[in-house]
Structure 1
Amino acid sequence: MTAPAPTYGGYSETEMRHVLQQACRTVGLDSEGAEVLRGHTNAVVRLRHNPVVVKIARRGSRYEDVERTVRFVQWLMDLGFPTSPLHDVPQPTVIDGHSTTFWTYLPQPEVPVTAQQLAEPLHALHNLPSPPMHLPEHDTVAAIGQSIAAAYVLPAATRTFLSERLERLTKELDGIDFLFPETVIQGDPQHRNALHASPTVVLCDWDTVTLGHREWDLATIEIHCRRFQHGAEQYRPFVDSYGFDITTWPGFAVIRDLRELRMICTNARKIASAPHTRSEVERRIDGLRQEDTSMLWNIL
């Protein structure tokens, strides 16, 4: 059997290259020889002839959401916040209904970003003043429900299991008292959503920025350390630098389980355009059935 052709942000390579070429031409950049860096969510492409990374929003993304992300990052840049910088061109650029943004390329060393290096910019984010634009309210429960509904490639019994788990955790969430007031949260802070920018580290990938409780961000850091082989040797230094250990909070288990469920269901929704991820998603779901919180996950 012939393996399905890979897609980038939900596009075929031909579609993706067409949008890339037209978007670059619109702002005076050269797309010849561009290299795809990532494609599971958005299509992220590094230009060969310009120090620029181009992000083509995932198929179905709303222009309003991409435009809000651009305005938010421009605000961060004006504040001097450690963020991956936008390239200085008018954006977003829309080609055939698909929004494209342009970012300054930051060369990366071989050594990956550590959890501890995320602590300082994440703490700064959680203590920002109110942004001058409207940000959506963080709603993990709704996001999970939408992903389960869209994960039509999974068997009905699996979707029922996921829905019942969501229902139980939602009831438990209602009884939680958060420690911190609502603030700006990144939504998916992790090692791959940060970049070296000597001598510091900057945050990137702002598509999930919302107003919410920082406990969601802190639980995400813990999950990535535990699930993706970074381990306690990275998590403990993060705690020491940030100044708070989310695992000591009584509500942690519920937040952890909801956050992991969202990560799994988001990837389940994408199986149709990334069929090579199915076995890993199903393995993670089996881990949920067994209540296995120590299973290592493979990066998708």
Structure 2
Amino acid sequence: MTASDRIAGGYSESELQYLLEGAGAAAGLDCRDADLLRGHTNAVVRLRHEPVVVKIARRGTPHQEVERTVRFVRWLMEKGFPTAPLHPVAVEQPLVVDGAAVTFWTYLPQPAEPVAAVQLARPLAALHTLPVPDLGLPQHDNVTAIRRSLTSIATLPPEDLVFLSEQADILEKELKDVTFGRPMGLIQGDPQHRNALHAGGDAVLCDWDTIAIGHPEWDCVTVEVHCRRFGYGVDHYTRFAEAYGSDVRSLRGYDTLARIRELRMVTTNARKVRHAPWTLEEVQRRIEGMRQGDAELPWSIL
């Protein structure tokens, strides 16, 4: 497999190769010369000799979570929803190889340009109108996720951990005063440019690990944060808001939602530093920007 010397999905390159070969053998797929596409969370590998992307869940991910994701995506596919499709293979998905949950997805060729935020508007708005299926989906809870990450961070100095914990306390109190404009329902949980793919001139959503029940505003503020922090610009998000039909920046309490979303992103990445030590500098740069109250500091993608 073509990959860097960095750990992907919590696995070394040799471990990842072993898992990929085992999954390929069970599913009847040719996994030679595969390419690692992404590895900061899950290990996502494109097969060169098959129209397939293999996703190996991050080390320690409960199989039940991946099973729930598979059931949800099958439900979306039955409804004709614009989602990246599971690939038909000769094994039940997820396939468990040496404790790791593996799923197979149909490869969709991509142009050089990533999906634009405005292309997220239509599928995201459609998702927010779907009924909630009886699949045991979790409640979206950013604050709990932040606190869970804080207990697992082992690479930051104590003063950074204290600062992040204090921010969580402050924002949790502020959140109680936020009045959401829309009822709870299905949300993607992490909609962004890299969690969508071009498909037939439109865009489809992918990476459904964060699917949950929550207020749609959480999805919209995630798009806004990514546009603002990763160099896309204000106009890029404004076009999304116009196409979606509402602008989360007009919500009283938007600032609280945005800061909570950013805090979750920072603490999640800080938790992963032990498996990705090269990301520590960027994580600490983001924390310092938060200390300074710099809402416009550009972030580098991890």
TM-score range, shorter chain: over 0.9
| One-letter identity of the residue aligned with 2:218 | W
1:82 aligns with 2:86: no
How far did 1:48 drift?
A: 1.1
1:232 aligns with 2:230: no
Partner of 1:110: helix, strand, or coil?
A: coil
The answer as to whether partners of 2:179 and 2:252 remain within 8 angstroms in 1 is no
1:166 aligns with 2:172: no
Which whole-Å CA distance do the structure 1 matches of 2:58 and 2:110 have between them? 24
**Which runs of no fewer than 5 residues in structure 1 stay unpaired?**
none
Partner residue in 1 for 2:215:
213
* Per-residue Cα deviation, 1:256-295 (whole angstroms, up to 9, x for no partner): 0000000000000010110010100000000000010000
1:59 aligns with 2:54: no
Which whole-Å CA distance do the structure 2 matches of 1:111 and 1:198 have between them? 14
Partner of 2:255: helix, strand, or coil?
A: helix
Which whole-Å CA distance do the structure 1 matches of 2:235 and 2:166 have between them? 35
Moved over 6 A (4+): none
How far did 1:171 drift?
A: 0.7
How far did 1:161 drift?
A: 0.6
Partner residue in 1 for 2:138:
136
How far did 1:132 drift?
A: 3.0
Partner of 2:204: helix, strand, or coil?
A: strand
Partner of 2:19: helix, strand, or coil?
A: helix
Which whole-Å CA distance do the structure 2 matches of 1:111 and 1:166 have between them? 36
Which whole-Å CA distance do the structure 1 matches of 2:134 and 2:164 have between them? 37
Which whole-Å CA distance do the structure 2 matches of 1:276 and 1:115 have between them? 28
| One-letter identity of the residue aligned with 2:125 | H
Which whole-Å CA distance do the structure 2 matches of 1:111 and 1:177 have between them? 37
| One-letter identity of the residue aligned with 1:86 | L
**Which runs of no fewer than 5 residues in structure 2 stay unpaired?**
none
Partner residue in 2 for 1:91:
93
Partner residue in 2 for 1:285:
287
Which whole-Å CA distance do the structure 1 matches of 2:133 and 2:81 have between them? 13
| One-letter identity of the residue aligned with 2:128 | H
What does 1:97-246 align with in structure 2 at a 5 Å threshold? Answer: 97-246=99-248
* Per-residue Cα deviation, 1:12-39 (whole angstroms, up to 9, x for no partner): 0100110111011111111111110001
Which whole-Å CA distance do the structure 2 matches of 1:208 and 1:64 have between them? 13
| One-letter identity of the residue aligned with 1:104 | T
Aligned-residue RMSD, C-alpha: 0.9
Partner residue in 1 for 2:272:
270
| One-letter identity of the residue aligned with 1:248 | S
Which whole-Å CA distance do the structure 1 matches of 2:285 and 2:55 have between them? 30
Q: What's the TM-score once normalised by structure 2's chain length?
A: 0.97
Partner of 1:102: helix, strand, or coil?
A: strand
| One-letter identity of the residue aligned with 1:198 | G
How far did 1:134 drift?
A: 1.3
* Per-residue Cα deviation, 1:29-88 (whole angstroms, up to 9, x for no partner): 111111100011000000011100000000010000000000000000000000000001
How far did 1:5 drift?
A: 4.2
Identity value in percent? 56
| One-letter identity of the residue aligned with 1:147 | S
Partner residue in 2 for 1:20:
20
How far did 1:299 drift?
A: 0.5
Q: Which moved more, 1:127-136 or 1:208-217?
A: 127-136
151 and 50 in structure 1: CA distance in 2 versus 1, 3 angstrom threshold: same
| One-letter identity of the residue aligned with 2:281 | S
Partner of 2:213: helix, strand, or coil?
A: strand
Which whole-Å CA distance do the structure 1 matches of 2:43 and 2:114 have between them? 21
Which whole-Å CA distance do the structure 2 matches of 1:155 and 1:41 have between them? 23
Partner of 2:68: helix, strand, or coil?
A: helix
* Per-residue Cα deviation, 1:78-133 (whole angstroms, up to 9, x for no partner): 00000000001221000111000000000001122100000000000000012131
Which whole-Å CA distance do the structure 2 matches of 1:43 and 1:142 have between them? 25
How far did 1:233 drift?
A: 2.2
